[in-house]
Amino acid sequence: MVMATIRQRIAGRSLTPGSKLPSIRGLAGTLKVSASTVVEAYERLVAEGTIFSRPGSGFYVASQAAPLSLADIGPKLDRAVDPFWVSRQSLEAGDGDLKPGCGWLPPSWLPEDGIRRALRKLSRAAGPALADYGSPLGLPRLRQLITRRMAERGIEASPDQVMLTESGTQAIDLLCRFLLEAGDTVLVDDPCYFNFQALLRAHRAKIVSVPYTPSGPDVELLGQALAAHRPRLYITNSAIHNPTGATLSPVVAHRVLKLAEQFALTIVEDDIFADFEHTPAPRLAAFDGLDRVIHIGSFSKTLSASARCGFVAARREWIDNLIDLKIATSFGGGRLNAELVLNVLSDGGYRKHMDGLRSRLSRAMFDVTGRLKTLGIVPWIEPQSGMLLWCRLPDGVDAAEVARAALAKNVVLAPGNAFSPSQSATNYMRFNVSQTLDPRIFEVLRQALLEARRSC
Amino acid sequence: MVMATIRQRIAGRSLTPGSKLPSIRGLAGTLKVSASTVVEAYERLVAEGTIFSRPGSGFYVASQAAPLSLADIGPKLDRAVDPFWVSRQSLEAGDGDLKPGCGWLPPSWLPEDGIRRALRKLSRAAGPALADYGSPLGLPRLRQLITRRMAERGIEASPDQVMLTESGTQAIDLLCRFLLEAGDTVLVDDPCYFNFQALLRAHRAKIVSVPYTPSGPDVELLGQALAAHRPRLYITNSAIHNPTGATLSPVVAHRVLKLAEQFALTIVEDDIFADFEHTPAPRLAAFDGLDRVIHIGSFSKTLSASARCGFVAARREWIDNLIDLKIATSFGGGRLNAELVLNVLSDGGYRKHMDGLRSRLSRAMFDVTGRLKTLGIVPWIEPQSGMLLWCRLPDGVDAAEVARAALAKNVVLAPGNAFSPSQSATNYMRFNVSQTLDPRIFEVLRQALLEARRSC
């Protein structure tokens, strides 16, 4: 009780960092407990770092009472559907577990032979490739290749506008460090990739969301949100949207950029699913020419998630600041991973592999869609490409309950509200068709749906 | 001039974010310039995102006028000796450049054969090792091996207290995210590893420093600094201190930990030079048992900087929060690098390589010390082990001037004030003995010293 009282006063700011706590005798009298009870509570608060003692003077509130816990920031969400649920369950699953909710391909769908060839080639590379730090911008030949690949999607950039990172996520994180102050407002789609929310919480940003339609964000509501909240950034996927699999239309791209100009909005376009496309869809960065749009990419989804490598393409004058931030927070880049990615991409086998992969994904999309429909699970749209399928469950069924029931049977699902800042996707679920081919999944889903219906 | 006026008003907060700018006509009158000059300035300020227009209403200050630039935070330092100077010059140098100031070994001193063997072995590994994300904590067998290696240095930890990271720097960055609020005070040594300052600037922390002695921080001044500034964290190296090469003594370790307890201080002990030691020196984490000390390690200095892999060992109850922060800001860990490091460390060749490396470093330390003395450059102490040699230049010589003169001849040096938060190391310089064996370096140094003396 003594500890709870002190904690409450600290949380409620009636005791601020550095201020002196009540004397032991005084607090014992106030709370009608023995002095030894107060001594014991103070000692425990010292041990946990909440307060500290100054010999001969008394006890004081430590400079920061509670370390940052992302679980405590923002609205308190049901753990089953918070933005970490899907990632932690997916990442913690064993190599053989069933995880139709996870956001990446099974390793056997990735270019394993190309990676093996690249590793053998690397084992014969010169010393610096094996043992030295990468340069601040990252491997020049890989940055050149990245600009050529961007050009195929209509995005013009020079290699010195491209900085390699350890991942697409690190790229966005560095941009948030560069562009955001704590308390700034950031706009995301509803639904959006759950980790955007987790990342923005880590930056103590305010999150505002705008409903996503099959052709991009709802432009009417986007304009209203910009006028009302003046967000500093908008983080989105364009070509293949996560979790919906939708594709931005040229008309919506134009309108989004007009609004961005009007409201001095900077846009981060996360394009990590680019290689899944059959034909290139519009990119905001292509329309805009890397003026107010920053383009992010990665090789985790189509090449290897084990050899992490991502990049950011932005205005040249921002790159120096991003380099400083990268060095300060992660020092040199991972040269080995960049060399490996370059080897795989330069290998003629990669394009052939991707052609085969796209066909395989189209077939899986068709099969999984059909099987889900027999359970009353209906796709929101039929995606043009990729692995993501955003589905509506039968009426009244809570996806979080279905996900919890499936998890008890070692099947990781991705309930809709993990993606929805407004928590308006209770009835939705994201499937990854490449991870949803095992017949056991549909039996577990069928039973979990039955259980969830019974309880509603 | 119009742009400068507006920028000054924003910087001085007479124009705050969201507030309306003076009308074009009004400002033109005040500044005695033409309306078209103001229009042009406003358009450029819109283009750079400082202000935005609301059609029919006027111009407004954008929600954040200036993005974070680390160069602008804290005291404005001479670019030649700011905390980024050494890292950027070292990382940007070509593979064959001379860089006695850089903080790592030449690739040929690292276990290249072991890395080549590990790459070939990896090319035959199962799919998930090549293509899947790592688990949130990271490869279990590597974490087990790390705890065994920590035990050899007297630090007891279980594998679930160890989380793998992409680098030692990322480990400290995650801890700063976890433990710091903007404006919190952090204590470092003077001199200290320059990137601690860069990292803390990125977290907008206040930096307080305490002089480092040959046996650890000055305990008297440490106590005064803790009482005066109540820092939240103390970040240090113990076994081999960067830049001085000094080693913490058991007595100082004890006193530091007593003060830490008294002032509820958390200590981050960055131990990335561990494998260079001939015999284990005292670790704060060994004395403390990972209670208020957090232990950081990495393999970038002794195994490979290209295959980045580091770790943090801390209280078990903090690890879950660190995992959430790692996922939010970089998603899954780099499994491939961890597999590679595990392969090299498990290979019998690694210990043999390190035995040879330690002897080679001792010889280099002896040689370089002798040659520097002939130039009047005198070591502050004779380090017990490692590659770092902290030296005093001849009286009155400014190390920054020497470093600038040497850079003009493509030799990267590490001037003392890059390491000194109090800027009190004007006369000092850090050498890396493994990178200081080329005779051309001493000729360049001799000339640079002459030039610097002439100017003083």
- B175 and B322 in a single domain? The answer is yes
B453's CB contacts (< 8 A; 6+ apart) are B394, B396, B397
Question: Do residues A177 and A328 lie in contact, with contact meaning Cβ atoms separated by under 8 Å?
Answer: no
- B44 and B192 in a single domain? The answer is no
Q: Check if B328 contacts A (Cβ < 8 Å).
A: yes
Those of residues 59-118 in B touching chain A at CB distance below 8 A are 62-64, 67-71, 84, 87-88, 91-92, 95, 104, 107-108, 110, 112, 115-117
- A40 and A89 in a single domain? The answer is no
The count of CB pairs under 8 A between chains A and B is: 306
Contacts of A9-12 with CB under 8 Å at 24 or more apart are A10/A50, A10/A61, A10/A65, A11/A65, A11/A66
Q: CA of B149, closest CA in chain A: separation in Å?
A: 22
> Do B181 and A119 lie within an 8 Å CB cutoff?
no
A61's CB contacts (< 8 A; 6+ apart) are A10, A15, A16, A17, A18, A19, A21, A50, A51
Question: Mean pLDDT over residues A415-438, rounded?
Answer: 96
- Burial (CB < 10 A; 0-12, 13-18, 19+), residue A417, is buried
- Position A70 in a domain: no
A294-316: pLDDT as tens digits: 999 999 999 999 999 999 999 99
Integer angstrom CA distances of residue A451 from A394, A398, A417, B97: 13, 11, 19, 67
- A237 and A386 in a single domain? The answer is no
Rounded distance between C-alpha atoms, residue A221 and residue A210, angstroms: 6
Q: Check if A329 contacts B (Cβ < 8 Å).
A: yes
> Do A132 and B107 lie within an 8 Å CB cutoff?
yes
Query: Which residues of chain B neighbour A264 with C-beta distances below 8 Å?
Result: 46, 49, 51-52, 62
Which residue from B minimizes the CA distance to A201?
A: B328
- Is the pLDDT at A269 greater than 70? The verdict is yes
Please identify, among A347, A376, A395, the residue that sits at the C-terminal boundary of a domain. Answer: A347
Find the CB nearest B184 among A64, A71, A135: A64
Rounded distance between C-alpha atoms, residue B456 and residue B405, angstroms: 14
- Position B297 in a domain: yes
A20: domain CATH number is 1.10.10.10
> Do B321 and A69 lie within an 8 Å CB cutoff?
yes
Question: Mean pLDDT over residues A207-211, rounded?
Answer: 97
Query: Which residues of chain B neighbour A181 with C-beta distances below 8 Å?
Result: 64, 68
Q: Check if B307 contacts A (Cβ < 8 Å).
A: yes
Those of residues 337-366 in A touching chain B at CB distance below 8 A are 337, 339-340
- B282 and B389 in a single domain? The answer is no
Q: Check if A53 contacts B (Cβ < 8 Å).
A: yes
- Position A66 in a domain: no
Please identify, among A347, A376, A399, the residue that sits at the C-terminal boundary of a domain. Answer: A347
Q: Which residue has the tokens 């930990």?
A: B257
- What is the residue range of B443's domain? 72-108+351-455
Q: Check if A281 contacts B (Cβ < 8 Å).
A: no
> Do A53 and B92 lie within an 8 Å CB cutoff?
no
- B117 and B101 in a single domain? The answer is no
Which residue from A minimizes the CA distance to B334?
A: A306
> Do A95 and B128 lie within an 8 Å CB cutoff?
yes
> Do A336 and B304 lie within an 8 Å CB cutoff?
yes
- B357 and B336 in a single domain? The answer is no
Question: Do residues B379 and B412 lie in contact, with contact meaning Cβ atoms separated by under 8 Å?
Answer: no
Which residue from B minimizes the CA distance to A88?
A: B136
Query: Which residues of chain B neighbour A339 with C-beta distances below 8 Å?
Result: 306
ipTM passes above 0.95: no
Question: Do residues A161 and A290 lie in contact, with contact meaning Cβ atoms separated by under 8 Å?
Answer: yes
Q: Check if B53 contacts A (Cβ < 8 Å).
A: yes
> Do A231 and B84 lie within an 8 Å CB cutoff?
no
Q: What are phi and psi of B158, to 5 degrees?
A: -95, 155
Tell me what the pLDDT averaged over chain A comes to.
90
Question: Do residues B245 and B432 lie in contact, with contact meaning Cβ atoms separated by under 8 Å?
Answer: no
Q: CA of A156, closest CA in chain B: separation in Å?
A: 19
Residue B76 is predicted with a pLDDT of: 32
**Number of folded domains in chain A?**
3
- Position B66 in a domain: no
B406: domain CATH number is 3.90.1150.10
Which residue from B minimizes the CA distance to A96?
A: B128
Q: CA of B454, closest CA in chain A: separation in Å?
A: 34
- B221 and B312 in a single domain? The answer is yes
Rounded distance between C-alpha atoms, residue B23 and residue B58, angstroms: 7
Q: CA of A395, closest CA in chain B: separation in Å?
A: 32
Q: CA of B402, closest CA in chain A: separation in Å?
A: 24
Query: Which residues of chain B neighbour A334 with C-beta distances below 8 Å?
Result: 166, 306-308, 334, 337
- Position A378 in a domain: yes
Tokens of A35: 């002095």
Find the CB nearest B70 among A170, A307, A325: A325
Q: Check if A262 contacts B (Cβ < 8 Å).
A: yes
> Do A131 and B122 lie within an 8 Å CB cutoff?
no
> Do A54 and B232 lie within an 8 Å CB cutoff?
no
Find the CB nearest B334 among A62, A130, A166: A166
- Is the pLDDT at A361 greater than 80? The verdict is yes
- A168 and A227 in a single domain? The answer is yes
- B206 and B343 in a single domain? The answer is yes
Q: CA of B368, closest CA in chain A: separation in Å?
A: 23
Please identify, among B331, B348, B365, the residue that sits at the C-terminal boundary of a domain. Answer: B348
Find the CB nearest A202 among B130, B177, B292: B177
Q: Check if A295 contacts B (Cβ < 8 Å).
A: no
> Do B116 and A127 lie within an 8 Å CB cutoff?
no
Q: CA of A222, closest CA in chain B: separation in Å?
A: 15
- B343 and B381 in a single domain? The answer is no
Which residue from B minimizes the CA distance to A337?
A: B307
Find the CB nearest A52 among B64, B264, B327: B264
Residue A66 is predicted with a pLDDT of: 45
- Position B442 in a domain: yes
Rounded distance between C-alpha atoms, residue B15 and residue B29, angstroms: 19
Find the CB nearest A201 among B127, B179, B328: B328
> Do A84 and B166 lie within an 8 Å CB cutoff?
no
**E strand or H helix at B151:** helix B140-152
- Between residues A81 and B157, the one the model is more confident about: B157
- Position B67 in a domain: no
Q: CA of A41, closest CA in chain B: separation in Å?
A: 15
> Do B68 and A179 lie within an 8 Å CB cutoff?
yes
Query: Which residues of chain A neighbour B115 with C-beta distances below 8 Å?
Result: 130-131
To the nearest 10 degrees (0 to 180), the angle between helices A349-374 and A112-122 is: 150
Those of residues 148-177 in B touching chain A at CB distance below 8 A are 166-167, 169-170, 173, 177
- B285 and B370 in a single domain? The answer is no
Question: Do residues A429 and A445 lie in contact, with contact meaning Cβ atoms separated by under 8 Å?
Answer: no
Find the CB nearest B133 among A71, A185, A305: A305
Q: Check if B46 contacts A (Cβ < 8 Å).
A: yes
List per-residue pLDDT tens for chain B, 456 residues long.
787 788 777 766 677 767 888 888 888 888 888 888 888 888 777 766 677 777 677 888 875 544 455 554 333 334 445 778 888 888 888 777 899 999 999 999 999 999 999 999 999 999 999 999 999 999 999 999 999 999 999 999 999 999 999 999 999 999 999 999 889 999 999 999 999 999 999 999 999 999 999 999 999 999 999 999 999 999 999 899 999 999 999 999 999 999 999 999 999 999 999 999 999 999 999 999 999 999 999 999 999 999 999 999 999 999 999 999 999 999 877 899 999 999 999 988 899 999 999 999 999 999 999 999 999 999 999 999 999 999 999 999 999 999 999 998 999 999 999 999 999 999 999 999 999 999 999 999 999 999 988 876
Which residue from B minimizes the CA distance to A331?
A: B169
B297: domain CATH number is 3.40.640.10
Count of all residues that appear for chain B in the document: 456
> Do B306 and A132 lie within an 8 Å CB cutoff?
yes
- Position B134 in a domain: yes
Find the CB nearest A131 among B62, B67, B107: B107
> Do B184 and A340 lie within an 8 Å CB cutoff?
no
